[in-house]
Structure 1
Amino acid sequence: MRFLFRSLRARLMFAFLAVTIASVGTVTVVVFRSAEREVARYERLINQLEMTRMAHWLIGYYTARDTWDGIQPFVDEMAVMLGARIVLTDKAGRIVADTAQDPSEPRFSRTWPSRSLTLYPDVDPVGTLHVSAETTIQATFRRRLEASLEYFIWVAGALAIGVAILVSTVMTRPITAPIRELARCSRLAGAGDLTVRVKMPNESGELHELASAFNTMAAELETAATRRSHLAENTAHEFRTPLTNIRGYVEAIRDKVVPSDVAVPVLLEEVTLMSRLVDDLQDLALADAGALRFVVEEHDVASIVRHSVRAAEPAATAKGVRLATVGADQPILCFLDANRIAQVLHNLITNAVTSCRADDTVTVGLTADATDIEITVCDTGSGIPIEKQPFVFDRLYRGDPSRSRTTGGSGLGLPIAKHIIEGHDGTIELESHEGQGTRFIVRLPRRG
């Protein structure tokens, strides 16, 4: 039985049938009881009318003759017409007429089930009319009525159940079909096919929302899987290049092709780049896990900006790029992690210098109000194409694929910067026009 009702459609159909059967059963009980009450009321009215008519005739008979002699034939005729046993007693209680023809009929007594009516022509009674409690006609009528009601109720119940089966079959199909489709797509997604999508139901409602939620989840999982695959590929590539260089120089030292004093600085640079990449990956992993810790204290943001600009001056000077600051000459206090914010500024300024040509300018601006501070890093470099701007915060993404690790970094700086700024309840935004330059805007709350 449990196997039969494992499917949602079977359960819904069973629910329809259960409601229908319960409704038919309730209607049956109500109809039978109502019919019994109405028939009983009708019988009481008919019996009262019949008893009154017979009593009126019998009183007339007795008044005309002043005796009950010869009344038996008339009582027999009444019994035939009524279909009941009639007993007539005089005022002393003696039987003067009895229509019982069957010896098995019970003898008349005061306990005999009957309806009685005392006959009063005037003040004094002249007798009592006794009629059996249920006449033959009444019994026949009752049996026929009960049989008719039972027949119609069975027919109506069968029709109702048939209609319930038909309606439940029609109504449950559009309900369960999207759920079956969702289950199928879930199995495919669980097997690794993240391109699967659920066909959206035409009508709006919970099923439409469920299908939309699944499709959104599948799309996000597909995007995450794609990014994870690219991350693995790019990370392997980032490690492969320095490892290849290290291996080449080690073999060259072994074969005495390159002097050690020439190879060691190169090896140290490659190891430094690998260490930096490992540190970036560790920061990104901590950020993804929500475990990136911040030491938040009150600091002078203007001092952090000035220090970050000074740190970038050697690289900018070597490339012929001018560095400038705006609004960083007066102290501006803010609660933040100074090292992490300096890390963000270092990345933004380094990227700006890298994207610039000789004689271009990188400007770091700082403004503040009572609640927030805003740091901007603007350059007059080549800018970022509009089609690439949505991806600048993706991991291991480089706007210019031709850049090397030396000129383009690891591609992890901006994702880490985004995590750091959002960890301070701030925002980081990008504005860029190809050929005109790029502007990064960092907003941080001043509160602790």
Structure 2
Amino acid sequence: MKINNIVTKLWVIMTILVLVVIGVAGAAQTSFMEGLYYDQQAKQLQSLGKKVANVARAEHDPATLDQKIALIAELYEANVMILDEKGIVINCQGMGISTKNLPMDMNNPHHGPLTEADLEKLYQGQVVVDRGNNPYFKTDVLSVGMPFTDPHNLKRAVMIHAPLKPLADELKRLQMLAVYTAVGGIVLAALLSLFFSRLISKPLVKMNKAALAMASGNYQQRVDIQTKDEIGLLADSLNTLASRLQEKINQLERQEQIRREFVTNVAHEIKTPLAVMQGFTETMIDGLVKTEQERDEYLQNILEEINRLKRLVNEVLDLKRMEEGHFDFDQEPCDLREIINRVERKLTQLAAEKGIQLEINIEKKLPAVNCNSDRIERVLINLIANAIRHTPPGGKISLAVTTKANQVHLRVSDTGEGIAPEDLPMIWERFYKGDKSRTRVPGGTGLGLAIVKRIVEGHGGQINVESKLNEGTTFNVLLPVNRCSIK
């Protein structure tokens, strides 16, 4: 197991944390239990001292008192002393010492663990508790002293010394039990820490694999994590990133494909007029043009091809300026009826030559719109010319203009070949042209609709398309209405 593995790191951190918590808790518990045990023992000795004091008050025979105190001392495995007002032991029983065999130096104010100050407190009516090594008993003892008065109203004190060894043994047993419990808790905590660290790291490992897969180009990789915590949110973000990267890659690939097609289309569009102009020019140079009329026709054809090339170049430049925000959209109140009449005059003949009916219906009370008349004219010419290219002879193209919810609605419909559903989302992209197998008439560069969309949006309007394959297409243009109205 590697030290830089997150499972190991989490396991080590949680195990150390558990060790620290258990260590601190164990030390605190030991200290608390030790204090509690000593307090309980001291209370028991105080209770015993009260009993001894009662016995001393009630019993006037010294021999009988010695027997009773000896019995109490034996029963409680302690040493019981009765002291007079000067601190002299007048009765002592238990733990190998009795009144008959008192050490020579015990009858002074400094016996046992109690100091002279403690004795002074004792005879002032206070209970004294102390513990430590007692040289007379050659062991550590817990000592409790309690004042009382005998039947003759003389100051007396009961002092009880209990050995600490039984208490220490009990505390040691409890401490060992606590140690065993702590060890068991540490082992269990270590196992649980390992389990939970693996549980936490598992989704991270999955996300790492997914990230590596994406780094190698597999953007279909997804992380299946259902949790709602931060890891789940991270997994969702990673999945979202993969989806957006896939979309972006697909978009870039599609754009690249469109650019390649555009280069091919532009090359073809340029090649055709150049070839035509070359043919006409070579014919004239070779002296094959005999009449002035033929020469004028040849020159006219060359001029038309030159204009065609100019339109192509202008469309590319216009689109570039629009994308860079440098295109001129100077607007003023416009009469759409006049714009539509100009468009009709320019395209009626073209539609008639192809055997297509061009029908225009304009609402009588048409309000004005703020627009650049040349740009809007270009939009309509582009949409109608596009419809003419994709509508077979005998078909119909209609332009309907109505007012709808403070907007002027221009609707260009045709009965042409329609647009395939898979092409609809992409027709607004620059350089895009639909399936060549359905393109009836050459001449488009794939820039027209991209330019149309940007012009409409530059006027604060909207444009959308509806189409059914082999049934026809409808373009809807919505432009904001100006406050003033026209005829």
Q: Same fold (TM over 0.5)?
A: yes
* Mapped pair 1:393 → 2:428: yes
* Mapped pair 1:157 → 2:153: no
Q: How does 1:21-170 map to 2 (within 5 A)?
A: 24=22, 27-28=25-26, 31-32=29-30, 35-36=33-34, 38-60=36-58, 63-65=59-61, 67=62, 71=66, 82=76, 86-97=80-91, 107-108=111-112, 109-111=115-117, 113=130, 114-122=143-151, 124-125=153-154, 127-132=156-161, 135-170=164-199
1:234, CA displacement in angstroms? 1.3
Q: Which residue of 1 aligns with 2:247?
A: 220
Q: How does 1:184-333 map to 2 (within 5 A)?
A: 184-188=212-216, 193=217, 196-201=219-224, 203=226, 205=228, 206-207=233-234, 209-245=236-272, 269-270=304-305, 272-285=307-320, 294-333=329-368
Structure 2, unmatched stretches of 5+, are: 98-102, 119-129, 131-142, 290-294
Give me the identity figure in percent: 20
Instruction: Mark the CA change 1:329 to 1:136 in structure 2 (over 3 Å): closer, same or farther.
Output: same
Q: Which residue of 2 aligns with 1:383?
A: 418
Given that residues 429 and 442 in structure 1 are in contact (C-alpha distance below 8 angstroms), is that contact kept between their aligned partners in structure 2?
Answer: yes
Please point out which of 404, 408, 414 is paired with 2:449.
Answer: 414
* Mapped pair 1:334 → 2:335: no
Given that residues 321 and 358 in structure 1 are in contact (C-alpha distance below 8 angstroms), is that contact kept between their aligned partners in structure 2?
Answer: yes
Q: Which residue of 1 aligns with 2:139?
A: none
1:364, CA displacement in angstroms? 0.9
2:464 counterpart SS class: strand
When normalised by structure 1's length, the TM-score is: 0.79
Q: How does 1:367-378 map to 2 (within 5 A)?
A: 367-378=402-413
1:221, CA displacement in angstroms? 1.3
Instruction: Mark the CA change 1:233 to 1:366 in structure 2 (over 3 Å): closer, same or farther.
Output: same
1:133, CA displacement in angstroms? 8.2
233-242 or 145-154: bigger deviation = 145-154
Letter in 2 for 1:142: L
Q: Which residue of 1 aligns with 2:122?
A: none
Please give the alpha-carbon distance, in whole angstroms, between the structure 2 residues aligned to 1:416 and 1:230: 20
Please point out which of 473, 476, 481 is paired with 1:438.
Answer: 473
Q: Which residue of 1 aligns with 2:401?
A: 366
280-289 or 412-421: bigger deviation = 280-289
When normalised by structure 2's length, the TM-score is: 0.73
Please give the alpha-carbon distance, in whole angstroms, between the structure 2 residues aligned to 1:292 and 1:103: 121
Structure 1, unmatched stretches of 5+, are: none
Please give the alpha-carbon distance, in whole angstroms, between the structure 1 residues aligned to 2:403 and 2:466: 20
Instruction: Mark the CA change 1:380 to 1:162 in structure 2 (over 3 Å): closer, same or farther.
Output: closer
Q: Which residue of 2 aligns with 1:348?
A: 383
Given that residues 402 and 408 in structure 2 are in contact (C-alpha distance below 8 angstroms), is that contact kept between their aligned partners in structure 1?
Answer: yes
Per-residue CA distance 1:287-321 (angstroms, 9 max, x = gap): 55666663344333333333333332332233232
Letter in 1 for 2:50: T
1:395, CA displacement in angstroms? 3.5
Per-residue CA distance 1:92-133 (angstroms, 9 max, x = gap): 421235668799997344346342112345472462112348
1:325, CA displacement in angstroms? 1.8
Please give the alpha-carbon distance, in whole angstroms, between the structure 1 residues aligned to 2:213 and 2:324: 29
86-95 or 244-253: bigger deviation = 244-253
Q: Which residue of 1 aligns with 2:206?
A: 178
299-308 or 76-85: bigger deviation = 76-85
1:159, CA displacement in angstroms? 1.9
1:96 counterpart SS class: strand
Given that residues 409 and 477 in structure 2 are in contact (C-alpha distance below 8 angstroms), is that contact kept between their aligned partners in structure 1?
Answer: yes
151-160 or 418-427: bigger deviation = 418-427
1:424, CA displacement in angstroms? 4.2
Given that residues 306 and 325 in structure 1 are in contact (C-alpha distance below 8 angstroms), is that contact kept between their aligned partners in structure 2?
Answer: no
2:432 counterpart SS class: coil
Please give the alpha-carbon distance, in whole angstroms, between the structure 1 residues aligned to 2:441 and 2:266: 13
1:171, CA displacement in angstroms? 3.6
335-344 or 361-370: bigger deviation = 335-344
Please give the alpha-carbon distance, in whole angstroms, between the structure 2 residues aligned to 1:68 and 1:447: 128
1:404, CA displacement in angstroms? 7.5
Please give the alpha-carbon distance, in whole angstroms, between the structure 1 residues aligned to 2:49 and 2:418: 113
Please give the alpha-carbon distance, in whole angstroms, between the structure 2 residues aligned to 1:292 and 1:8: 56
Given that residues 362 and 377 in structure 1 are in contact (C-alpha distance below 8 angstroms), is that contact kept between their aligned partners in structure 2?
Answer: yes
Please give the alpha-carbon distance, in whole angstroms, between the structure 2 residues aligned to 1:337 and 1:8: 64
Q: How does 1:1-20 map to 2 (within 5 A)?
A: 13=11, 16-17=14-15, 20=18
Please give the alpha-carbon distance, in whole angstroms, between the structure 2 residues aligned to 1:28 and 1:285: 77
1:446 counterpart SS class: strand
Given that residues 296 and 335 in structure 1 are in contact (C-alpha distance below 8 angstroms), is that contact kept between their aligned partners in structure 2?
Answer: yes
Please give the alpha-carbon distance, in whole angstroms, between the structure 1 residues aligned to 2:358 and 2:379: 17
Please give the alpha-carbon distance, in whole angstroms, between the structure 2 residues aligned to 1:38 and 1:28: 15
2:222 counterpart SS class: coil
1:180, CA displacement in angstroms? 0.7
